[in-house]
Structure 1
Amino acid sequence: MASLISDSELEILKIIWEQNRNMMFSEIVDELHKKEFTWKNNTILTFLSRLTDKNMLKVQKKGRKNEYIAVLTEQEYLKQETTEFVGKVYEGEVKGLIATLVENDLISDDEMAKLKEYWEKNAE
Protein backbone atom coordinates (compact mmCIF):
# COMPACT_ATOMS: atom_id res chain seq x y z
CA MET A 1 0.00 0.00 0.00
CA ALA A 2 1.30 3.48 -0.84
CA SER A 3 2.50 5.83 1.84
CA LEU A 4 0.44 8.88 2.55
CA ILE A 5 1.17 11.65 0.12
CA SER A 6 0.91 15.38 0.72
CA ASP A 7 -1.50 17.69 -1.08
CA SER A 8 1.43 19.14 -3.02
CA GLU A 9 2.59 15.71 -4.12
CA LEU A 10 -0.97 14.90 -5.18
CA GLU A 11 -1.04 18.02 -7.38
CA ILE A 12 1.99 16.72 -9.25
CA LEU A 13 0.41 13.28 -9.66
CA LYS A 14 -2.78 14.90 -10.98
CA ILE A 15 -0.77 16.65 -13.68
CA ILE A 16 0.80 13.39 -14.81
CA TRP A 17 -2.61 11.66 -14.74
CA GLU A 18 -4.24 14.51 -16.68
CA GLN A 19 -1.60 14.25 -19.40
CA ASN A 20 -2.03 10.47 -19.41
CA ARG A 21 1.61 9.89 -20.33
CA ASN A 22 5.15 9.86 -19.00
CA MET A 23 6.45 13.39 -18.42
CA MET A 24 9.78 15.15 -18.35
CA PHE A 25 10.62 17.47 -15.44
CA SER A 26 10.32 20.59 -17.64
CA GLU A 27 6.84 19.53 -18.78
CA ILE A 28 5.71 19.07 -15.18
CA VAL A 29 7.07 22.52 -14.30
CA ASP A 30 5.24 24.07 -17.27
CA GLU A 31 1.95 22.47 -16.24
CA LEU A 32 2.39 23.60 -12.62
CA HIS A 33 2.97 27.16 -13.80
CA LYS A 34 -0.17 27.01 -15.95
CA LYS A 35 -2.04 26.13 -12.75
CA GLU A 36 -0.38 29.13 -11.07
CA PHE A 37 1.82 27.16 -8.69
CA THR A 38 4.92 29.20 -7.94
CA TRP A 39 7.10 26.49 -6.45
CA LYS A 40 10.82 26.71 -7.12
CA ASN A 41 12.43 23.95 -9.20
CA ASN A 42 14.20 22.52 -6.13
CA THR A 43 10.84 22.23 -4.33
CA ILE A 44 9.31 20.40 -7.31
CA LEU A 45 12.33 18.08 -7.46
CA THR A 46 11.85 17.34 -3.75
CA PHE A 47 8.18 16.44 -4.31
CA LEU A 48 9.14 14.22 -7.28
CA SER A 49 11.83 12.52 -5.20
CA ARG A 50 9.37 11.87 -2.36
CA LEU A 51 6.83 10.43 -4.80
CA THR A 52 9.55 8.15 -6.18
CA ASP A 53 10.56 7.09 -2.65
CA LYS A 54 6.89 6.32 -1.89
CA ASN A 55 6.67 4.19 -5.07
CA MET A 56 4.07 6.48 -6.63
CA LEU A 57 6.42 7.42 -9.49
CA LYS A 58 9.18 5.65 -11.39
CA VAL A 59 12.05 7.55 -12.97
CA GLN A 60 13.55 6.66 -16.30
CA LYS A 61 16.68 8.35 -17.62
CA LYS A 62 16.38 9.99 -21.03
CA GLY A 63 19.93 11.05 -21.70
CA ARG A 64 20.76 13.41 -18.84
CA LYS A 65 17.12 14.15 -18.06
CA ASN A 66 14.51 12.32 -16.00
CA GLU A 67 11.19 11.09 -17.28
CA TYR A 68 8.54 10.50 -14.61
CA ILE A 69 6.08 7.62 -14.87
CA ALA A 70 3.02 7.19 -12.63
CA VAL A 71 3.03 3.76 -10.98
CA LEU A 72 -0.74 3.82 -10.34
CA THR A 73 -3.53 5.21 -12.48
CA GLU A 74 -5.75 7.82 -10.87
CA GLN A 75 -8.54 5.22 -10.57
CA GLU A 76 -6.20 2.74 -8.85
CA TYR A 77 -5.04 5.47 -6.46
CA LEU A 78 -8.63 6.53 -5.64
CA LYS A 79 -9.66 2.94 -5.00
CA GLN A 80 -6.68 2.35 -2.73
CA GLU A 81 -7.19 5.57 -0.76
CA THR A 82 -10.95 5.04 -0.42
CA THR A 83 -10.51 1.44 0.73
CA GLU A 84 -7.91 2.52 3.28
CA PHE A 85 -10.09 5.42 4.52
CA VAL A 86 -13.24 3.30 4.90
CA GLY A 87 -11.22 0.58 6.62
CA LYS A 88 -9.52 2.94 9.05
CA VAL A 89 -12.38 5.35 9.84
CA TYR A 90 -15.46 3.14 9.40
CA GLU A 91 -13.93 -0.26 10.15
CA GLY A 92 -14.64 -1.34 6.58
CA GLU A 93 -18.35 -0.48 6.76
CA VAL A 94 -19.32 1.64 3.74
CA LYS A 95 -22.77 2.09 5.30
CA GLY A 96 -21.16 4.22 8.02
CA LEU A 97 -19.58 6.49 5.44
CA ILE A 98 -22.85 6.92 3.55
CA ALA A 99 -24.76 7.56 6.79
CA THR A 100 -22.26 10.30 7.71
CA LEU A 101 -22.66 11.90 4.28
CA VAL A 102 -26.47 11.86 4.55
CA GLU A 103 -26.75 12.89 8.22
CA ASN A 104 -24.44 15.86 7.76
CA ASP A 105 -25.93 17.06 4.45
CA LEU A 106 -22.66 16.30 2.67
CA ILE A 107 -24.50 14.66 -0.22
CA SER A 108 -27.27 16.37 -2.15
CA ASP A 109 -30.60 14.83 -3.12
CA ASP A 110 -29.44 14.96 -6.75
CA GLU A 111 -26.23 13.10 -5.88
CA MET A 112 -28.27 10.53 -3.92
CA ALA A 113 -30.56 10.00 -6.93
CA LYS A 114 -27.53 9.55 -9.21
CA LEU A 115 -25.97 7.16 -6.72
CA LYS A 116 -29.19 5.13 -6.57
CA GLU A 117 -29.35 5.07 -10.38
CA TYR A 118 -25.69 3.98 -10.54
CA TRP A 119 -26.32 1.27 -7.93
CA GLU A 120 -29.35 -0.12 -9.75
CA LYS A 121 -27.53 -0.14 -13.08
CA ASN A 122 -24.46 -1.90 -11.68
CA ALA A 123 -26.08 -4.23 -9.14
CA GLU A 124 -26.63 -7.01 -11.69
Structure 2
Amino acid sequence: MTLKISDSELEILRIIWAHNGRMMFSEIVEELHAKNFEWKNNTILTFLARLTEKKVLEVQKKGRRNEYIALLTEKDYVEQETKEFVGKVYEGEVKGLIATLVENELISNKEIEELKEYWEKNKE
Protein backbone atom coordinates (compact mmCIF):
# COMPACT_ATOMS: atom_id res chain seq x y z
CA MET A 1 0.00 0.00 0.00
CA THR A 2 1.34 3.39 -0.99
CA LEU A 3 1.21 6.38 1.28
CA LYS A 4 -0.20 9.45 -0.46
CA ILE A 5 1.29 12.70 0.82
CA SER A 6 0.20 15.96 -0.82
CA ASP A 7 2.71 18.64 -1.84
CA SER A 8 1.50 20.85 1.03
CA GLU A 9 1.87 18.04 3.56
CA LEU A 10 5.34 17.35 2.19
CA GLU A 11 6.36 21.00 2.74
CA ILE A 12 5.42 20.63 6.40
CA LEU A 13 7.20 17.29 6.67
CA ARG A 14 10.39 18.74 5.17
CA ILE A 15 10.39 21.44 7.82
CA ILE A 16 9.94 18.88 10.59
CA TRP A 17 12.62 16.58 9.14
CA ALA A 18 15.03 19.53 9.00
CA HIS A 19 14.56 19.93 12.76
CA ASN A 20 15.46 16.38 13.78
CA GLY A 21 11.93 15.11 13.25
CA ARG A 22 10.19 17.01 16.06
CA MET A 23 8.75 20.50 16.34
CA MET A 24 6.21 22.49 18.28
CA PHE A 25 3.21 23.82 16.33
CA SER A 26 4.33 27.45 16.79
CA GLU A 27 7.77 26.60 15.35
CA ILE A 28 6.20 24.97 12.29
CA VAL A 29 4.04 28.07 11.71
CA GLU A 30 7.11 30.31 12.07
CA GLU A 31 9.12 28.26 9.55
CA LEU A 32 6.27 28.19 7.03
CA HIS A 33 5.89 31.96 7.23
CA ALA A 34 9.67 32.37 6.86
CA LYS A 35 9.34 30.34 3.62
CA ASN A 36 6.58 32.72 2.45
CA PHE A 37 3.70 30.30 2.97
CA GLU A 38 0.76 32.46 4.00
CA TRP A 39 -1.40 29.60 5.27
CA LYS A 40 -3.74 30.30 8.17
CA ASN A 41 -3.24 28.32 11.39
CA ASN A 42 -6.39 26.26 10.71
CA THR A 43 -5.01 25.22 7.32
CA ILE A 44 -1.72 24.14 8.89
CA LEU A 45 -3.60 22.26 11.61
CA THR A 46 -5.60 20.45 8.90
CA PHE A 47 -2.41 19.32 7.14
CA LEU A 48 -0.92 18.20 10.47
CA ALA A 49 -4.12 16.30 11.33
CA ARG A 50 -4.04 14.52 7.96
CA LEU A 51 -0.39 13.54 8.48
CA THR A 52 -1.30 12.26 11.95
CA GLU A 53 -4.24 10.23 10.54
CA LYS A 54 -1.87 8.73 7.96
CA LYS A 55 0.44 7.73 10.86
CA VAL A 56 3.26 9.87 9.42
CA LEU A 57 3.25 12.17 12.45
CA GLU A 58 2.51 11.66 16.11
CA VAL A 59 1.28 14.43 18.42
CA GLN A 60 2.48 14.79 21.98
CA LYS A 61 0.94 17.29 24.36
CA LYS A 62 3.44 19.56 26.11
CA GLY A 63 1.18 21.33 28.56
CA ARG A 64 -1.32 23.12 26.34
CA ARG A 65 0.95 22.99 23.31
CA ASN A 66 1.39 20.28 20.66
CA GLU A 67 4.70 18.80 19.58
CA TYR A 68 4.67 16.95 16.25
CA ILE A 69 7.03 14.01 15.83
CA ALA A 70 7.82 12.41 12.47
CA LEU A 71 7.20 8.65 12.41
CA LEU A 72 8.44 8.42 8.81
CA THR A 73 12.01 9.41 8.03
CA GLU A 74 12.88 11.47 4.98
CA LYS A 75 15.10 8.60 3.79
CA ASP A 76 12.22 6.10 4.01
CA TYR A 77 9.86 8.50 2.25
CA VAL A 78 12.30 9.15 -0.63
CA GLU A 79 12.98 5.41 -0.96
CA GLN A 80 9.25 4.62 -1.12
CA GLU A 81 8.49 7.40 -3.62
CA THR A 82 11.43 6.43 -5.84
CA LYS A 83 10.39 2.77 -5.94
CA GLU A 84 6.82 3.74 -6.78
CA PHE A 85 7.91 6.19 -9.50
CA VAL A 86 10.30 3.73 -11.18
CA GLY A 87 7.66 1.00 -10.92
CA LYS A 88 4.86 3.10 -12.37
CA VAL A 89 6.71 5.12 -15.03
CA TYR A 90 9.46 2.69 -16.06
CA GLU A 91 7.77 -0.62 -15.15
CA GLY A 92 10.50 -1.22 -12.58
CA GLU A 93 13.34 -0.77 -15.08
CA VAL A 94 15.91 1.62 -13.56
CA LYS A 95 17.80 1.59 -16.87
CA GLY A 96 14.88 3.45 -18.48
CA LEU A 97 15.07 6.18 -15.85
CA ILE A 98 18.82 6.59 -16.33
CA ALA A 99 18.44 6.64 -20.12
CA THR A 100 15.85 9.42 -19.82
CA LEU A 101 18.17 11.42 -17.55
CA VAL A 102 21.07 11.06 -20.00
CA GLU A 103 19.07 11.63 -23.22
CA ASN A 104 17.45 14.77 -21.86
CA GLU A 105 20.66 16.10 -20.34
CA LEU A 106 19.14 16.03 -16.87
CA ILE A 107 22.32 14.51 -15.48
CA SER A 108 25.78 16.01 -15.97
CA ASN A 109 28.96 14.16 -16.91
CA LYS A 110 30.30 15.04 -13.47
CA GLU A 111 27.26 13.42 -11.84
CA ILE A 112 27.70 10.33 -14.03
CA GLU A 113 31.34 10.07 -12.91
CA GLU A 114 30.28 10.46 -9.27
CA LEU A 115 27.70 7.71 -9.76
CA LYS A 116 30.36 5.42 -11.27
CA GLU A 117 32.57 6.02 -8.23
CA TYR A 118 29.62 5.41 -5.92
CA TRP A 119 28.81 2.19 -7.79
CA GLU A 120 32.39 0.93 -7.54
CA LYS A 121 32.51 1.61 -3.80
CA ASN A 122 29.13 0.04 -3.05
CA LYS A 123 28.70 -2.89 -5.46
CA GLU A 124 29.57 -5.54 -2.87
Return the TM-score normalized by structure 2: 0.92
CA separation in 2, counterparts of 1:76 and 1:3?
Answer: 11
- Pick which of 57-66 and 23-32 moved more: 57-66
- Per the alignment, in what secondary structure is the counterpart of residue 114 of structure 1? helix
- How far residue 114 of structure 1 moved from its aligned partner, in angstroms, is 1.0
Residue of structure 1 equivalent to 2:43: 43
Residue of structure 1 equivalent to 2:11: 11
- How far residue 2 of structure 1 moved from its aligned partner, in angstroms, is 4.6
1:28 aligns with 2:25: no
1:58 aligns with 2:62: no
Q: Does the CA-based 8 Å contact 1:2-1:55 persist in structure 2?
A: no
The superposition leaves residues 56-95 of structure 1 with CA deviations (integer Å, 9 ceiling, x where unpaired) of 1111222232211111111111111111111111121111
- Per the alignment, in what secondary structure is the counterpart of residue 19 of structure 1? coil
Q: Does the CA-based 8 Å contact 1:2-1:56 persist in structure 2?
A: no
CA RMSD of aligned residues (A): 1.3
CA separation in 1, counterparts of 2:99 and 2:80?
Answer: 21
CA separation in 2, counterparts of 1:54 and 1:95?
Answer: 32
1:115 aligns with 2:115: yes
Residue of structure 2 equivalent to 1:91: 91
CA separation in 2, counterparts of 1:21 and 1:43?
Answer: 21
Structure 2 unaligned blocks of 5 or more:
none
State the identity %. 75
CA separation in 2, counterparts of 1:96 and 1:54?
Answer: 32
The alignment of Structure 1 onto Structure 2 pairs a total of residues equal to: 124
- How far residue 11 of structure 1 moved from its aligned partner, in angstroms, is 0.7
Structure 1 unaligned blocks of 5 or more:
none
Q: Does the CA-based 8 Å contact 1:22-1:69 persist in structure 2?
A: yes
Return the TM-score normalized by structure 1: 0.92
CA separation in 2, counterparts of 1:76 and 1:58?
Answer: 16
CA separation in 1, counterparts of 2:50 and 2:20?
Answer: 21
- How far residue 110 of structure 1 moved from its aligned partner, in angstroms, is 1.2
